[in-house]
Chains A and B, each alone.
Chain A
Amino acid sequence: MRSLSRKQILLLAAAVWLGGAVLIYAATGSSGKNEEFQPTGEFKLEEWLPLGFNRAVLYLLLAALLTIVTMVYIAKRMADRPNRVQTAVETVFVFMRDQIAGANLDRDMARKWFPFVGALFLFIWFNNMLGYIPLPVNDHEPISIGSLELPSFAIYAATANISIPLALSLMVWITYHIVGIRRQGLGKYFASWVPAGVEGFARGPIFLIEVISHFVRTISLSVRLFANILAGHLLILFMAGGLGVILGVAALGWFTLPAAVLFFLFEVGLVATLQAFIFATLTAIYLGGAVAAEH
């Protein structure tokens, strides 16, 4: 048999995809709307162990461990002639040092706060990326093998839970205020909130607006990360069969599967890194703004 041309392969794939959807629909039809299944249930947290240890905590600890082990392992065997992994880590390191910390902070601040900003980037990145590896953590829809109930494989991200981005955001928020007050003194720090050029009576209302904007930062910083990751996971979930389950049309699950693959690649390839980058960059910008006399 002669090898198929690219066009023929594409046509064959399209035929399998559409024909499969038609065949599955013909075989199973529609079982009516499924009111029982809640997609958000995938993100519900059950307490597994005392001290509030649940799936999100497991993911947090796994991500922390992965971050530490990877970075320390690489750091321990840094060679003069780097291999590919070391080159990649070095590239990330230089990117964090020069683009995230260096570009938004002056030299002294960048040197002092690079570990904080860099650790934030890596921690969030590993948390995000861990969220795209299927792990046997789904206690919501277990697999029953005989009498044994095993958790099914699922993708879950700790950062898709508001508490985790919020905790990090609050930490950043408090940190940059402390840095600002320690550098400039209490009065001068708050005075620096008012932009340069605002004089007299206008200073009052402008200061109030700035106060609000500072508080909004905690919400914007945390919700941006949380919502992006949650939305990505929900989209993958819906496209990978969730929609078919809800509407009771199994064929729909097959039909939307390619979209799930595309969303998955999009999330892994772009969103996970981009959101970690934005979080770390904004942290650096906030820290830089806190020590600037006026902004």
Chain B
Amino acid sequence: MLDFVTVLAASEEGGGSFLVKPGIGLMIWTLLAFGATLLVLRKLAFPKISEQLDKRQRAIEESIDTAEETKAEAERILAEYRQRLQEARTQAESIVARATSAAQKQQEDSLQQARVQREEMMEQTRRDIDAETRRAIQEIRSQVADLTVLATEKVTRKTLTPEDQRRLVDEAIGELDFEALAGSDGSRN
């Protein structure tokens, strides 16, 4: 190692001083070479590289913006679809509910209608029965009258004038209570 140092020292003594002696010519060459480099780089290289970097930066920013927009759009559409789905579901539910209630109402209506109809039919039947009863009573009366006339004739051997007979019978029958024959219609004594 000591040898190494002495060698270095010796080499410095042995004409190494030119290493630290500046030369004007070389300095001018340096400035020329650097000046040319600077000029060319500033004119031809740096602006283009810078432009390209800026362009890419813009492209990246635009892509990010577009991606964000697309994402927002997608989210908006998704929300819309969800809302529509919800609406459709609600609508379907309301339709079902309405249909159910309509069906129920219709059922009730038809039940009511049937009841009314039945009532009417029963009423009609009742009226028919009443009318029939009355007619039957009338018939019986008439029959009884005739029979009575016949019976009286047979008993009395006397013929009354039809008018007298009828009057008499009617009086007799009028005294009879036929209401009982009317059944449920008449009040029973």
CB distance from A263 to the nearest CB of B (A): 14
- A75 B26 Cβ-Cβ under 8 A: no
Q: Which residues from 87 to 103 on chain A have a C-beta closer than 8 Å to any C-beta of chain B?
A: 89-90, 93-94, 97
Known: A119-B42, A161-B19. 4 other contacts (CB 8 A): A68-B45, A71-B49, A74-B45, A163-B27
Q: Is A238 an interface residue (CB 8 A)?
A: yes
22 A-B residue pairings within 8 Å (CB atoms): A39-B11, A40-B15, A54-B26, A61-B29, A64-B37, A67-B41, A68-B41, A71-B44, A71-B45, A72-B40, A72-B45, A90-B53, A115-B46, A118-B41, A161-B19, A162-B20, A163-B23, A164-B30, A168-B34, A170-B27, A230-B19, A247-B7
- A74 B49 Cβ-Cβ under 8 A: yes
Tell me which residues across on chain B come within 8 A of A140, comparing CB atoms.
none
Q: A60-B29, A90-B53 are in contact. Are A75 and B7 (CB under 8 A)?
A: no
Instruction: Kindly state the separation between the CA atoms of A93 and B11 in the bound complex, as whole angstroms.
Output: 41
Mark contacts of B14-56 with chain A using CB atoms, 8 A cut-off: 1 yes-contact digit, 0 otherwise.
1110111111011111110110111011101110111111011
- B38 A116 Cβ-Cβ under 8 A: yes
Q: Give the size range of A's interface with the partner.
A: 35 or more
- B48 A68 Cβ-Cβ under 8 A: no
Q: Give the size range of B's interface with the partner.
A: 35 or more
Tell me which residues across on chain A come within 8 A of B41, comparing CB atoms.
67-68, 71-72, 115, 118-119, 122
Q: Is A120 an interface residue (CB 8 A)?
A: yes
- A161 B37 Cβ-Cβ under 8 A: no
Mark contacts of B133-156 with chain A using CB atoms, 8 A cut-off: 1 yes-contact digit, 0 otherwise.
000000000000000000000000
Q: Is B3 an interface residue (CB 8 A)?
A: yes
Instruction: Kindly state the separation between the CA atoms of A15 and B73 in the bound complex, as whole angstroms.
Output: 71
Instruction: Kindly state the separation between the CA atoms of A146 and B120 in the bound complex, as whole angstroms.
Output: 147
- A60 B30 Cβ-Cβ under 8 A: yes
Q: Is A63 an interface residue (CB 8 A)?
A: yes
